[in-house]
């Protein structure tokens, strides 16, 4: 312990009684050097002083009154005599030799002193030694301090190392893998607990590895080889599928186990060692093997079913696919789901895989693609997510089935229904036939490449080629399919929106139009005739060698495979439909034939209807013409009667006038007679004039009976009733009724007559078809009705006479229509105007007031 009160440097001066003078001198000299001297007169005292003051220097006189300075030094140096090392110090010691003796350097040094001075030391010598000793002490103290630091550091480092060691030990201990480090003698220098457990003993250090490894592994050649290689090359080695038998009682699964061993080079304690990491991968290997087995089994089963199977990871990447899948979709490896199924580079909207991930349940979806042959194929996917124990998605199993046949069948049946409906509404025969053939060639259900229709002419008992539909060449066909694939139209679209192309635009029409086959026994060699007579479909697979196909037919149509079906309604064949797949070469199956026959029956009914409708229309036309004629005749008869009556009425007065005039001429001199005769003549002439006036009255209609009626409704009802008649003439009817026009006061029957007349005239002027526009409008005075046509028009010279009675340009006309029309309009207080341009059309405009008795300007 340093005494804080004492200023440093401190020197303990150990001197005996005898050394008083020298000691005093020493002390004096020490004081001059600024060194504090602490006297001690015995070994014990000196030791105590050293203990107390921790001096920088010890001055030890040899003669220490009973003891020797050497003893003190020895004690100070911790020699054998010292009681422990309690007094040991490396404080520099200067020994002062006894008086009269030469300094025993050796002994002093041996004892542990640093310097020896003779008893009669010179001042300078003394001081120099003191300085040297102090210096040495300083250095020593520094060294000590450094050593202390180093010790502390070391302690700290050791602490770190210890904790690191503890850490790695803990880690190694807790590893599932068995970890062992061996030296080049294959002896264990380190092992973790797992290894010890496997080894079945805790004391593994130092033991040879062989004996410690589970049975089989230790003697494993591969293991020995691996160790050799690692020691040689320092490169790591991994051994898979090491088999060994694990005994019971080692705390883990026993029996035949499979291991994976990784051996690598590792420095340990300065030399190269081998680190072995051993894992029991039995379950994993088994699982993997099982999965592969199951997968193969599944693959075989699935192959037998003919479905595609693939495995996808979470990112929708195909990990594996079976043969069928690859056949259908190409090699899918590394491609993603949407790339494979939909040739799209982005995930599909409403992706079923996403749904499967969300719900963790299997998902089902149906989809379709167009193949290169222009055929549509349907697939059904079942997506099964494979989850691990924690419910996290591992992979997807996707089962793909080709359901084209089934889907086709469904579509076919619904198609037939749709076709029936589509055909039912079409009453125009040509349009219907076109619809029939379009249905046979469109889409995938019937989807033949070409279709031809032969209609039966009942009178001539022949089958006549009536229509052909389809592409004219392979190139044409592909172009159409490509177009369809890009923008698939539904059958409904094809049937309803399509304008019927002109016959000339259908090249197949030329093929079929000139053909006519009598339906008798002598023409049975023609397929269509046979079909019609036998009333059964005929499927020809090889036309070149089939006796049911004639040479000319094959030459004309060129299809080696085709089908011919009869269209029958009410027990009669009314047409034969022939269809082939000349361009796609798609085989015609019995199912196709059955479906075609089903369709044909419906078509037959539709054709029957259309034909019946045409007959009916024709009959109606006849009837109407006859009726018109009758009416005409009736009119003429009426006029005849009227004319006879008029003649009669006129004749009587004429007889009177003529008679009396002759009388006067015979007796001109008889003035009285002349006067009487003249008077009678005048009377009769007046009578004649009134008769004439009456004749006009004969033709005029009765006076109108007014009531408030809606004009628009009158017009529209009338036009509805006349629509058929109008459209049958090929005239398009446009009706534009002003909704703001309400009721006007009129004689509905007469106004109806007016509209009827104008419409009839208009339709008659458009014998080649055209547009008839009937328009009502409201104006400030009342109503305006316009009947406009696009017919032959009226010559300007004729225009002014058209309202004249008995004026007509029609050979069968009475010429009264427009006269009556004008009369009615005038009776209503209205006006009628006409504008016309030859070959452009005519427009009649009638203005009628809202109320009768009002002014019409």
Partner 1 sequence: MATILLVEDDGNQRLLYEQELGEEGYTVRSAASGPEALAMLEGGERPDVVVLDISMPGMDGIEALGKILGTDNSIPVILNTAYATYKDNFMTWAADAYVIKSSDLAELKAKIKEILAAGGKVTEDRA
Contact residues toward partner 1 (CB under 8 A) are 644, 647-649, 651-652, 654-663, 680, 683-684
Nearer to partner 1, 243 or 662 (CB): 662
Nearest distance in Å: CB 814, partner 1? 21
Closest approach, Cβ 783 to partner 1, in A, equals 46
In sequence order, what DSSP letters do the residues of 668-726 get, joined into one string? TT-HHHHHHHHHHHHHHHHHHHHHHHHHHHHHSPPPP--EEEEHHHHHHHHHHHHHHHH
Exposure string over 565-575, b if 16+ CB within 10 A, otherwise e: bbbbbeeebbb
Residue 638 beta carbon to partner 1: minimum distance, rounded to whole angstroms: 14
Nearer to partner 1, 636 or 654 (CB): 654
Alpha carbon distance 177, 361 (integer Å): 36
Nearer to partner 1, 644 or 721 (CB): 644
**Nearest approach, Cβ of 665 to partner 1 (angstroms)?**
10
CB closer to partner 1, 410 vs 671 = 671
Q: Closest CB to partner 1 among 651 and 732?
A: 651
- The CB-of-664 to partner 1 minimum distance in angstroms stands at 11
Burial 596-609 (b: 16+ CB within 10 A, else e): bbbbbbbbbbbbbb
Report the C-alpha gap between 433 and 412 in whole angstroms: 20
Cβ neighbours of residue 110 closer than 8 Å, sequence gap 6 or more:
none
Angle at 529 between CA 528 and CA 532, to 5 degrees: 85
Please give the structure tokens belonging to residue 548.
Answer: 């049911």
Residue 680 Cβ vs partner 1, minimum distance, rounded to whole Å: 5
Give residues with Cβ within 8 angstroms of 203, minimum separation 6. none
| Residue 272 CA, distance from chain mean position | 60
Residue placing its CB nearer to partner 1 in the complex, 78 or 659: 659
Determine whether 130 is exposed, middle or buried from the number of CB atoms within 10 Å of its CB (0-12, 13-18, 19+). Answer: buried
Q: What angle in degrees, to the nearest 10, is found between the helix axes of 711-728 and 748-765? A: 30
Q: Which is nearer to partner 1, 393 or 636 (CB)?
A: 636
Inter-residue contact 179 to 172 (CB < 8 Å): yes
Q: Are 577 and 562 in contact (CB under 8 A)?
A: no
Is 557 within 8 Å of 528 (Cβ atoms)? no
Nearer Cβ to partner 1 (154/644): 644
Rg (CA), the chain: 66
| CA–CA distance, 195 with 202 (Å, rounded to integer) | 9
* Minimum distance, C-beta of residue 654 to partner 1, in the bound complex (Å): 6
Tell me whether residue 101 or residue 682 sits nearer to partner 1 (CB atom): 682
Helix (H, G, I), strand (E, B) or coil at 418: helix
Structure-block tokens of residue 756? 């009827």
Cβ atoms < 10 Å from Cβ of 473: 11
Q: Which residues contact 113 (CB under 8 A, 6 or more apart)?
A: 60, 73, 93, 94, 95
CB of 702 to partner 1, least distance (A): 25
Kindly state the smallest distance separating residue 784's Cβ from partner 1, in Å.
Answer: 47
Least distance in angstroms from the C-beta of 656 to partner 1: 5
State the residue for tokens 């089902």: 364
Whose Cβ is closer to partner 1: residue 379's or residue 660's?
Answer: 660
What is the nearest approach in angstroms of partner 1 to the Cβ of residue 647? 7
Residue 217: partners with Cβ closer than 8 Å, 6 or more residues away: 223, 242, 244, 259, 261, 278
- Give the nearest distance from C-beta 630 to partner 1 in angstroms: 21
- Our CB check for partner 1 shows the closer of 279 and 683 to be 683
| DSSP one-letter code for 828 | T
| Residue 249 burial by Cβ neighbours in a 10 Å radius (0-12, 13-18, 19+) | exposed
Please compute, for residue 346, the number of CA atoms within 13 A of its CA located in the half-sphere on the CB side.
2
Query: In this complex, which beta carbon is closest to partner 1, that of residue 690 or of residue 826?
Result: 690
Rounded to a whole number of angstroms, the minimum distance from the CB of residue 678 to partner 1 is 12
Instruction: List, in sequence order, every residue forming a beta bridge with 276; answer none if it has no partner.
Output: 180, 263
The Cα-based distances of 66 to 11, 62, 110, 423 in angstroms read 22, 10, 20, 149
**Angle in degrees, 0-180, between the axes of helices 590-666 and 671-699, rounded to the nearest 10:** 170
Minimum CB–partner distance for residue 690 and partner 1 (Å)? 14
CB of 676 to partner 1, least distance (A): 8
What's the token pair of residue 510? Answer: 């030329």
Tell the smallest beta-carbon distance from residue 673 to partner 1 (Å): 8
Instruction: Between 339 and 683, name the residue whose CB sits nearer to partner 1.
Output: 683
Taking the complex as a whole, the smallest distance from the CB of residue 633 to partner 1 amounts, in Å, to 17
Partners of residue 263 on adjacent β-strands? 237, 276
Alpha-carbon distance of 116 to 133, in angstroms, equals: 11
Query: Between residues 656 and 786, which has the closer beta carbon with respect to partner 1?
Result: 656
Residue 653 vs 793, nearer CB to partner 1: 653
DSSP state of 26: H
Angle between helices 404-424 and 590-666 (to 10 degrees): 10
Closest CA to 214 of 247, 181, 183: 247
Q: What is the Cα–Cα distance from 368 to 379, expressed in whole angstroms?
A: 6
**Residue 729 in tokens:** 């003439």
For the bound state, the minimum distance from the C-beta of residue 646 to partner 1, rounded and expressed in Å, comes to: 11
Angle at 334 between CA 331 and CA 337, to 5 degrees: 80
Residue 107 — left, alpha, or beta (φ > 0 → left; ψ -120 to 50 → alpha)?
alpha
Cβ-based nearer residue to partner 1, 175 or 654: 654
- Between 42 and 652, CB nearer to partner 1: 652
The residue among 406 and 651 lying less far from partner 1, judged by its C-beta, is: 651
């Amino acid at each position: 312990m340093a005494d804080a009160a004492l200023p440093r440097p401190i020197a303990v001066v150990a001197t005996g009684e005898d050394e008083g003078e020298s000691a005093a001198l020493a002390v004096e000299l020490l004081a001059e050097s600024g060194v504090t001297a602490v006297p001690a007169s015995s070994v014990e005292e000196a030791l105590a002083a050293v203990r107390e003051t921790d001096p920088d220097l010890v001055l030890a006189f040899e003669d220490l009154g009973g003891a020797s300075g050497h003893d003190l030094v020895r004690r100070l140096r911790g020699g054998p005599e010292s009681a422990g090392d309690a007094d040991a110090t490396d404080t520099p010691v200067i020994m002062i030799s006894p008086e009269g003796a030469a300094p025993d350097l050796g002994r002093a040094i041996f004892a542990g002193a640093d310097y020896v001075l003779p008893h009669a030391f010179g001042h300078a010598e003394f001081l120099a030694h003191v300085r040297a000793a102090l210096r040495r002490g300083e250095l020593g103290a520094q060294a000590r301090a450094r050593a202390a630091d180093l010790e502390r550091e070391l302690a700290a480092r050791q602490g770190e190392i210890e904790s690191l060691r503890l850490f790695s030990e803990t880690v190694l201990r807790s590893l599932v893998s068995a970890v062992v480090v061996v030296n080049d003698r294959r002896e264990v220098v380190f092992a973790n607990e797992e290894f010890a457990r496997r080894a079945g003993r805790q004391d593994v250090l130092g033991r040879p590895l062989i004996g410690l490894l589970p049975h089989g592994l230790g003697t494993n050649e591969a293991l020995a080889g691996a160790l050799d290689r690692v020691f040689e090359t320092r490169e790591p080695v991994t051994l898979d599928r090491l088999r060994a038998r694990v005994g019971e009682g080692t705390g883990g699964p026993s029996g035949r186990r499979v291991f994976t061993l990784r051996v690598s080079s590792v420095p340990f304690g300065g030399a190269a060692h081998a680190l072995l990491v051993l894992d029991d991968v039995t379950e994993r290997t088994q699982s993997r093997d099982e999965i592969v087995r199951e997968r193969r089994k599944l693959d075989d089963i699935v192959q037998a079913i003919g479905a595609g199977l693939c495995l996808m990871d979470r990112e929708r990447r195909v990990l594996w696919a079976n043969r069928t899948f690859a056949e259908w979709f190409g090699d899918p490896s590394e491609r993603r789901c949407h790339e494979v199924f939909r040739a799209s580079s982005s995930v599909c909207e409403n992706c079923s895989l996403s749904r499967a991930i969300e719900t963790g349940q299997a998902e089902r979806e149906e989809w379709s693609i167009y193949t290169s042959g222009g055929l549509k194929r349907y697939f059904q996917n079942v997506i099964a997510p494979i989850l691990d124990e924690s419910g996290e998605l591992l992979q997807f199993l996707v089962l793909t089935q080709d359901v084209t046949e089934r889907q086709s069948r469904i579509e076919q049946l619904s198609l037939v229904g749709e076709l029936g409906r589509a055909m039912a509404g079409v009453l125009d025969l040509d349009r219907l036939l076109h619809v029939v053939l379009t249905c046979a060639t469109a889409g995938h259900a019937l989807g033949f490449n070409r279709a031809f229709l032969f209609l039966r002419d009942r009178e001539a008992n022949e089958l006549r080629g009536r229509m052909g539909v389809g592409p004219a060449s392979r190139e044409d066909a592909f172009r159409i399919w490509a177009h369809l694939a890009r923008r698939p139209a539904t059958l409904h679209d094809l049937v309803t929106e399509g304008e019927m192309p002109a016959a000339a635009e259908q090249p197949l029409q030329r093929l079929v139009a000139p053909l006519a086959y009598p339906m008798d026994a002598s023409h049975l060699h023609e397929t269509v005739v046979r079909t019609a007579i036998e009333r059964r479909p005929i499927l020809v697979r090889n036309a070149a060698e089939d006796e049911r196909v004639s040479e000319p037919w094959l030459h004309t149509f060129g299809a080696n495979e085709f089908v011919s079906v009869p269209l029958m309604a009410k027990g009669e064949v009314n047409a034969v439909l022939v269809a082939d797949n000349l361009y796609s070469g798609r085989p015609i199956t019995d199912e196709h034939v059955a479906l075609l026959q089903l369709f044909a029956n419906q078509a037959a009914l539709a054709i029957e209807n259309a034909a019946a409708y045409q007959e009916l229309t024709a009959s109606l036309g006849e009837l109407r013409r006859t009726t018109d004629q009758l009416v005409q005749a009736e009119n003429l008869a009426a006029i005849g009667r009227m004319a006879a009556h008029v003649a009669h009425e006129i004749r009587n007065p004429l007889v009177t006038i003529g008679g009396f005039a002759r009388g006067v001429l015979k007796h001109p001199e008889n003035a009285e007679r002349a006067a009487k005769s003249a008077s009678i003549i005048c009377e009769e002439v007046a009578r004649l004039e009134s008769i004439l006036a009456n004749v006009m009255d004969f033709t005029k209609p009765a006076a109108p009976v007014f009531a408030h009626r809606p004009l628009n409704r009158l017009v529209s009802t009338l036009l509805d009733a006349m629509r058929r008649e109008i459209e049958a003439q090929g005239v398009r009817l446009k009706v534009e009724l002003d909704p703001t026009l309400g009721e006007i006061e009129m004689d509905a029957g007469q106004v109806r007559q007016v509209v009827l007349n104008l419409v009839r005239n208009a339709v008659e002027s458009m014998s080649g078809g055209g547009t008839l526009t009937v328009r009502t409008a409201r104006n400030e005075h009342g109503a305006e009705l316009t009947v406009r046509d696009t017919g032959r028009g009226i010559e300007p010279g004729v225009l002014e006479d058209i309202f004249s009675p008995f004026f007509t340009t029609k050979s069968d006309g009475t010429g009264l229509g427009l006269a009556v029309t004008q009369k009615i309009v005038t009776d209503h207080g209205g006006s009628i105007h006409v504008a016309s341009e030859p070959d452009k059309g005519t427009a009649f405009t009638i203005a009628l007031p809202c109320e009768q008795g009002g002014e019409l300007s």
